[in-house]
Amino acid sequence: MGLIIDCYTKKYAVFSGRARRKEFWLFMLFLTLALYIPQVILTEYMLLQMADTSTSSDSFSDETGFVMFVGYGIWFLFIIFSLAPAISVSVRRLHDVNKSGWWYWISLVPLINLIMIFFYAQKGTAGVNRFGPDPLGES
């Protein structure tokens, strides 16, 4: 959990240095769950409200609209807040395999972005490389 907290605090928008596989994959797992679980809950809530109102002529109640507005608002703010750490940990992971951070832009191209999984899963360069010391402390 400390690695994830560090991505949001000490390394919030740090694009220099290197990130080991554990840091990258734990952060991505956390981010995926943190985005997916609220989405499922909000969608389920909306569907339950739709089922309750399907027999009446009323649409969503004001309460339902408020809950959806606040829920999706917080969810959207979390996405915005998480962009910098997600990109920075990706760039630092690329640095660990001795690739420039500019390779990150490939991840925005559909299908071709699958190449990035290879780089993210690859063992990092042992010892010092042009982006800094080995995050595992190996030489």
Per DSSP, 129 falls in state B
Helices marked H in 97-139 — which ranges?
Answer: 114-121
Place of tokens 């080995």: 134
* CB of 91 closer than 8 Å to CB of 104: yes
| pLDDT tier, 27 (very low <50, low <70, confident <90, very high otherwise) | very high
Q: Is the pLDDT of residue 99 over 80?
A: yes
Could you tell me the residue ranges of all domains in the chain? Answer: 2-7+17-121
| pLDDT tier, 97 (very low <50, low <70, confident <90, very high otherwise) | very high
Share of the chain above pLDDT 90, in %: 64
Q: Is the pLDDT of residue 58 over 80?
A: no
What average pLDDT does range 68-97 have in this prediction?
Answer: 94
| pLDDT tier, 139 (very low <50, low <70, confident <90, very high otherwise) | low
- How far is it, in rounded angstroms, from Cα 74 to Cα 107? 26
